[in-house]
Structure 1
Amino acid sequence: MVKSIKPNTTRKPPVPADDHSDIEDWIGQVMPALQPIVKHLDELIRASIPNLHYAIKWKKAYYGLPELGWIIEMVAYDVSVNVVFFGGAKFDSPPPLGEVSRYAKVKTLEEAQGPQMREWIKQAGRVPGWT
């Protein structure tokens, strides 16, 4: 049986915001030690994937495309940032954690700046996500 791409079947996808300002506000509320990581990831996502939609729901940042749905979710915890790729299981080299929605825990700016993260973000822009 094929698993559907959803974080939880009882939850509805977020509603897109009018612009990026909700994400900027969310970044400002992240733990200060994680803000450089989150800012870098946000910039990398926006530079790698054109025509994004943005949303904040459940204290998580969402990035999506009209034709693919929500493709990336970013969650900041106390010591790490989880970058969730809703279609990550279909990537050439999937992120290490999760099943259908795959994710990576990012604990340092160096990890966020690595070539693997850049490649996962680029692949996310080509794979269907959560609709």
Structure 2
Amino acid sequence: MNKLGELLGWLTAIFYGASAISFFLKAIYHRYASTIKNSLHINRPYTGLMKFAIRYHRLFGGIALVTLAAHFYIQLTTRGLNISGAFAAGLLVLQAILGAVGTYLVKVRKGLWFYLHRVTALLLFIAIIFHVLKI
């Protein structure tokens, strides 16, 4: 059971990373748009990867949430409560709530919810690092 819990934790981190990568791909594209557009051997694969990451951002986040629930349950029942893990889990749940609010209620990619969604992503990344390193 411990190995399954560990695997689910890593899957959670991987799917969170896959969800967050769209932000970085878009930032790089906006910063180096002219260079990327002028290079045909870079433009097509890069924009394809960026479109893939954007299209599946919500799916990857949803999978991260599901794997988190399973990871949290297994770790809680076999090892007990881990404070850094509980904090990271809370941030991932908050991140999902903010994403759902923005997607289904606000429907505009700007404003306070969008800022909080991005700040929470950064805090979540730091919390995952602390949790994995057992700090």
TM-score, length of structure 2 as denominator length: 0.30
Whichever structure has more helix as a proportion of its residues is 2
Structure in which a larger fraction of residues adopt strand: 1
Report the structure number with the largest CA radius of gyration: 2
Question: What TM-score do the two structures reach when normalised by structure 1?
Answer: 0.31
